[in-house]
Structure 1
Amino acid sequence: MLTFHTAATQLRQARTELDGGVLVAPYECPERVDLVLKRIQQASLGEVREPEAFGLEPVLAIHDPDYVQFLAECWEQWCALGRKGEAIAWIWPTRTMPGDVIPDHLDGRLGHYALSADTSICAGTFEAAQASKDIALSTVRHSLTTGEPAFGLCRPPGHHAASDQFGGYCFFNNAGVAAQYALDSGKRRVAILDVDFHHGNGTQQVFYERDDVFFASIHGDPCHCFPYFLGHASETGRGRGDGFNANYPLAPGSAFDVWVQALDDALARLRAAECELLIVSLGVDAFEDDPISEFKLTSDDFSEMGRRLAGLGVPTTFLMEGGYAVEAIGTNVVNVLQGFEAAEMA
């Protein structure tokens, strides 16, 4: 299977994450990419290819222009204020301060555009986000033109990024940008299946009122797990999108026997919706040893996940999302991809 990746994703070298009341080194680190690439090479999965540059037009197809401009300018403006650390939001619009007017001051705009305090903006963030969406677009274009599966080793991840908010380590919604590109290229309906432990709140928000993208997410129950405020089973879409959003919130501690029932149901719904392309938001933080997640999937379970995904029988693009048990991240990612390939050849 072809992999798309570029070293430009490592231009983001964040040092700061708010975790448990203290500032720590982010769990989303550049080493994750190195370990996945190492395992791809060990397993002889296939060629690793540089992505092409697509510019910002595909991003602006789903993201607010003012938000994109904010991301482009934030770090320079932060430094101009004489700040010593990384840019982190510390005040937000709330139920009692609705934020109808976007502030002029950078601190206020950070709060407007950030959905969580776990994600800082540092030097290289915007450039890495651009590289990541180029990976996603190159990957989906390969699947569209050849019908072959492909893997996009995206970093930063994307599924928490909403149309005008960043957080959860995400800035551009890579899967959403790729899905819109596929629609603009002639596909009638696209499926995005999010298997990351955390709900893909950004992807849901972008497509919630549309019927040309069927979004399904299997994730930790938001009553207990980040992002907390979205991802309930009752959220099924709105307007034209009613029935085209499927959430499978599972209890902390869920193992594969429970998880796979949700997967099978999601695939049945995607098949019934006659989706012509599958984009998998491939987070592997459902792994039993992940430090910030609470499912109990084993490395062998990821192989079975790949086999079942192949059963949908449509062109498939895999885009990297989360996964923070760095010692096992390469094994778990490649197990999904090899499981998919094995099922396709069977």
Structure 2
Amino acid sequence: MRAFLDARQGAHDPQMFMANGQRLPNPEKPERIPVLKAGAEAAGAVFAAPRDFGMGPLAAVHSAEYLAFLQGIHSRWLRIEGAAAEVIPNIHPDRRSANYPKSAVGQAGWHQADTACPIAAGTWEAAYWSAQTALSAAEAVLAGGPAYALCRPPGHHAFADLAGGFCFLNNAGIAAEWLRAQGMRPAILDVDVHHGNGTQGIFYARSDVLTVSLHADPDRFYPFFWGAAQERGEGTGLGYNLNLPLPRGTDDADYLAALAVALARIRAFGADVVVVALGLDAHEADPFQGFRVTTGGFTRIAEAIAGLGLPLLVVQEGGYLQPALGTNLTAFLQGLG
């Protein structure tokens, strides 16, 4: 399997995030990269550096205003007397039609959904090359065979103009939109334990990209405000978004039963390529403790997805440092065959 990674993705090194009112070490660390790389190589993946597709494919998904914010906010932030080293918002608008402020503090609140997406000196560079990694893997899929994009930072919580949940650029969405522009009919299948709310938001009113997400029920799990079963799309996109929220503690058998529903929807859509937003945080030992999927369960999940018989692009999302992280990726990629 062809795989892609750029060393500059390690430039983003977030120091903290807030949970339950506490300042905690941020789990989305650069140390994830060598663990995931080793796991992919154990499955036979051969890594190459991505090529640079430029800003165009990013701007096809994200607003130019948001991209300008990501590129410039850290240097602007440091001009604030007494500012912390990382951009973390302390105020958010109550509506997206509110005034767009000139203040760096105000714009941080506008473009960052929560306190889990701190922006530091290396964040833009890392996020940019994470997106280029996804695009290069998409190009490899068009050339034949599955491909794996070791995207870090991840992307599925990033909306068109909003970062959140460790995510800045929506790598899976950028890749899917690029594939669509090449004449493909993509479906995005998100198997991260958290709902892919940014991905849903980007394509919610569209019928040319199908979005499907299996995740822990947001009634009591991040991202809380998105991911309910009744969210089916809007306008021309009505019926082109499928959410399958599952109870906390869901095991292999129940997960695979829900996955069968997801795969049936992808077949009904007539997809000719599938972008898998791969979160390994559904594992029973992941720090977020959402599901109880086993390492063997990841193999069975991958085998079921491979059963679609479609070209597959695997884009890395969550999955945090714990002893089985690399092994889980090996198990999934081996399950693809």
Common fold by TM > 0.5: yes
Match of residue 78 from structure 2: 79
Superposition deviation, residue 325 in structure 1: 4.0
2:143 to 139, 145, 150: 145
Distance 2:265 2:302 in 1: 18
Say whether the 8 Å CA contact 1:193–1:281 is kept in structure 2: yes
The structural deviation recorded for 1:131 is: 0.4
Does the CA contact (< 8 Å) of 2:43 and 2:330 recur in 1? no
Cα separation, 1, equivalents of 2:143 and 2:181: 14
Q: Which residue of 2 aligns with 1:260?
A: 256
- What is aligned with 1:154? 151
Q: TM-score w.r.t. structure 2 length?
A: 0.97
Residues 285 and 325, structure 1, Cα contact 8 Å, conserved in 2: no
What TM-score do you get using the length of structure 1 for normalisation? 0.95
Partner of 2:233: 237
Structure 1, unaligned stretches of length 5 or more? 342-346
* 8 Å Cα contact 1:99-1:112 kept in structure 2: no
Indicate whether 1:6 and 2:19 are aligned. Answer: no
After superposition, give the CA deviation of every residue in 1:65-119 in whole Å (9 maximum; x if it has no partner).
1011000001111112242331101111126xx6521111111111111111122
Give secondary structure in 1 for the equivalent of 2:115. Answer: coil
**Residue identity matched to 2:275:** I
Aligned to 1:34: 34
Cα distance in 2 for partners of 1:62, 1:6 equals 21
Q: Does 1:181 align with 2:178?
A: yes
CA RMSD of aligned residues (A): 1.2
The equivalences for 1:1-346 within 5 A come to: 1-41=1-41, 43=42, 45-82=44-81, 83-94=83-94, 100-146=98-144, 148-187=145-184, 189-341=185-337
Would the alpha carbon gap of residues 175 and 44 (structure 1) be closer, same or farther in structure 2, given more than 3 Å must change?
A: closer
CA deviation after TM superposition for structure 1 residue 19, in Å: 2.1
- Letter aligned with residue 162 of structure 2: Q
Q: Residues 109 and 327 of structure 1: is their aligned pair in 2 closer, same or farther, counting only changes over 3 Å? A: same
Partners of 2:287 and 2:322 within 8 A in 1:
no
Contact 1:216 1:247 in 2 (8 A): yes
Contact 2:117 2:168 (8 Å CA) reproduced: no
Opposite residue 206 of structure 1, the aligned amino acid is I
User: How far apart, CA to CA, are the structure 1 residues paired with 2:68 and 2:322?
Assistant: 33
Identity of aligned residues (%): 40
SS in structure 2 of the partner of residue 76 of structure 1: helix
* Contact 1:233–1:247 (CA under 8 A) maintained in structure 2: yes
Q: Which moved more, 1:161-170 or 1:237-246?
A: 237-246
Residues matched between the structures, number:
336
Whether the 8 Å CA contact 1:253–1:296 is kept in 2: the answer is: yes
Instruction: Tell me how far apart the structure 1 counterparts of residues 310 and 39 of structure 2 sit (CA, whole Å).
Output: 26
